[in-house]
Homo-oligomer: A and B are copies of this chain.
Amino acid sequence: MRWQKLPASPPAAPANIACIAKLRAITMTTTDLPWPSNTALRAHAKRHEQLQVSELLSADRGRPADFHCHAAGIDLDYSRQLLDVPAREALIALVAETDLASAREAMFEGASINHTEQRAVLHTLLRAQTPPSGLTTEFAEIQQCLQDQQAWVDAVNSGQHRGFEDQPMTDIVNIGIGGSDLGPRMVVQALTPYHQQLQVHFCANIDPADLDTTLSTLNPATTLFIICSKTFSTEETLQNAAAARRWLLAAAPDPSAVAQHFLAVSTNLDAVAEFGIPADNVLPLWNWVGGRYSLWSAVGWSIAFAIGNAGFKQLLAGAQAMDEHFRNTPAADNMPIIMSLLELWSVNYQGGSNQAVIPYDHHLGRLPAFLQQLSMESNGKRVTNDGTTVGYATAPVLWGEEGSNGQHSFHQLLHQGTLLCPVDFILPLTSHSDDKDRHRRLVAHCIAQGQALTQGRDLQASEDSLIQRGTPQDEAKVLAPHLVIPGNRSCSTLTCQQLTPHALGALIALYEHKTFCSGHLWQINAFDQWGVELGKELSANVSEAMQGGTSSGALDTAAQALLERWQQP
C-alpha cells in the first residue's frame, strides 16, 4: 500500500500507561480513598484483572438473580459488571465504614448537609406523602404550592384562564436554564404518550435563535409563559423573558396582557412584580431545593401542564416509592447504593473516566443531558467536605444517546475502543405504541448489546465468521484481528414494565440518590456548585469590554484576540 509508510515494528518504549497516569496528576494528587476497605478493594481490583464476566456468568447460573435489585417498579441487572461476590462484599463494607445511613437520615430529616451554603437538601420532602416530624411547616408550604399549581393547571386546561383576546391557552413556554430546564424538558418529552391538549415548549439558551425558533410557530394570544428562576436574576432567563414580553406586547393591546400570559417560579417577588407578573401568578421555591433537584417543585409546573395534575402526582409517587426503598433497604439490596458502589468500583478501582447512559426508548432522548447535570454538577468536585484537595477521581463524564441509534454510531468504540465505557442501558419492556413488533426488535437489540459487551468475539470466531461469508482462508487470517472484540466490558440494565409517570419518577429518584451516595463516599458536597461562578464573573468583564467599557484589562491576550475578531466588520 503506497500510502502507508510505517516503521515495520514499534520500537521498545516505556509503558505509556504509566505516563498517562503521571500526566493525570495535573489535576489529581495520588492518595487513595480513605476508607478501611480500600486495601481489600485494591486487592480485589488486582485479582479482577484476570477475571472474565462471561466466566462469572457461566460458573454461577444464579448470578443474574443474585446481581439484581428491585425497587419501586424498577429492576436493576448488574450481573454483567466485572465484579465478583467477594469484591461486592468489600464495596458494601464501605457503606458501614462511611456511616452512609446517618448521612442519608440527615438528608431526609433536613440537616444542613449542603454545608458550604448552609442549606438543607429536601427534594425528598417535595414528594413525601405525610409530614415528617420537624418538617411540618415546610410540608404545609409544599402542599399549598402544589394546590396552587393544580388550580392553575385546571384553570388553563379548562379554558377558564384566558389570554388578551379572551381565547383559551394552547401553548406553554417554559423559560429557564440548567435545573429550571433540563428536568422538566426531559420529563415532558419522556411522557409524550401522556400529553394532554396543551403543547409545552422549552427555551433555555441566551442565543436568540432558541426563543425565536420556539415563538415562530406560536400565537401570542394563546401562549402562556412560565419564567423559572429562583432569584429572578439568571441572565439567560431574564433576557429571554424580556424578549418574550416584547413579542407578546407587540401583539397585545396593552401591558396588562403580561399578567394574563406570564407565570413565574421564584423567591424574588419584587423583581417578579417589576416585570409585570402579579403575585397570584407566582409559585414559590425554597433554598432547600437545589436547581438540579427541583423538577418536583413548581419548577415542574410545565410537566403538570403537559400531563395533567394526576400524572404529576404519579411522578411524585414514583419518586417517593424510591425514597422509601432507599431509606429502608439494607445496602446489599439497595438500588441507589449498589449503583453508587458500581460507580466507585469503575472510577476509583478500574480507571473508568466516563459513564454512558443509553436509554432504549425514543422519548428518553434527553435523559443523558439531564443526568449529566445531576451527576457532573453534583460530584464534579475536587475538595472534600473539610476543604482538602481530593486524592482520587470523583465524577466521570456522563454521556449517551438513545438506543438503538447509538449502535450505528459510537457503539463501535464501546466494543472495540481502548477506553473502558461502562454502560447503563435503560429499557422499558413494553411500549405505548400499538406496533409491538418494532418494539420487540428494540428490546432484542438492547439485550444483545449487553451480551456483546460481555462476550466479545475471539480470533478464531472472527476467522470463522469471515470464512462463513466466503472470505478466502488466507485473507480471513489477515482480516480476523480487525473483527476481534475483547468483551469483558461492564454494563447494567435497568428495566421497568412501561415508562409511566410513576416509573419515570422512580428512575429519576434512583439517580438522585445514587449521586448523593457517591458524593458521600467521595467525601464531597454534592449540593453546591462554586465552580460555575468564575465564568459568570469573567463574562461580565467581556461583555463590558464588548461595549467599549474599560474593564478590558481583566481580559487575557487570548480573550482579547477573540474579542477583536468579534469586533471586525
Contacts and interface: CB of A to CB of B under 8 A. Distances in A.
Contact of A558 (B32, B33, B64, B413): B64
B452 A372 contact: no
A382 B418 contact: yes
Interface string A108-125: 000111011000000000
Contacts of A27: 417-420, 486, 489
A270 interface: no
A19 B5 contact: no
Given A11-B36, A61-B557, A395-B413, 16 more contacts: A4-B106, A10-B31, A26-B82, A177-B404, A178-B408, A192-B213, A205-B442, A239-B441, A372-B401, A373-B409, A377-B412, A383-B484, A408-B532, A412-B529, A447-B566, A451-B558
Interface string A3-15: 1111101111111
A171 interface: no
A280 interface: no
19 contacts: A1-B112, A2-B102, A5-B99, A16-B30, A64-B558, A79-B558, A116-B482, A207-B433, A239-B437, A291-B408, A373-B410, A415-B532, A444-B542, A444-B543, A450-B558, A452-B534, A465-B533, A495-B565, A495-B566
Interface stretch (A137-145, A311-319, A356-364): A356-364
Contact of A24 (B17, B46, B105, B539): B17
Interface stretch (A321-329, A334-342, A384-392): A384-392
A435 B208 contact: yes
Closest 10 CB pairs of A and B: A380-B413, A178-B408, A3-B106, A10-B34, A416-B531, A13-B32, A387-B481, A380-B417, A64-B561, A373-B409
A381 B391 CA distance: 31
A448 B541 contact: yes
Instruction: Say how many copies of this protein the assembly contains.
Output: 2
B6 A31 contact: no
Contact of A57 (B291, B354, B556): B556
A449 B36 CA distance: 39
Which of A3, A13, A350, A542 has its CB near the most chain B CB atoms (within 10 A)?
A3
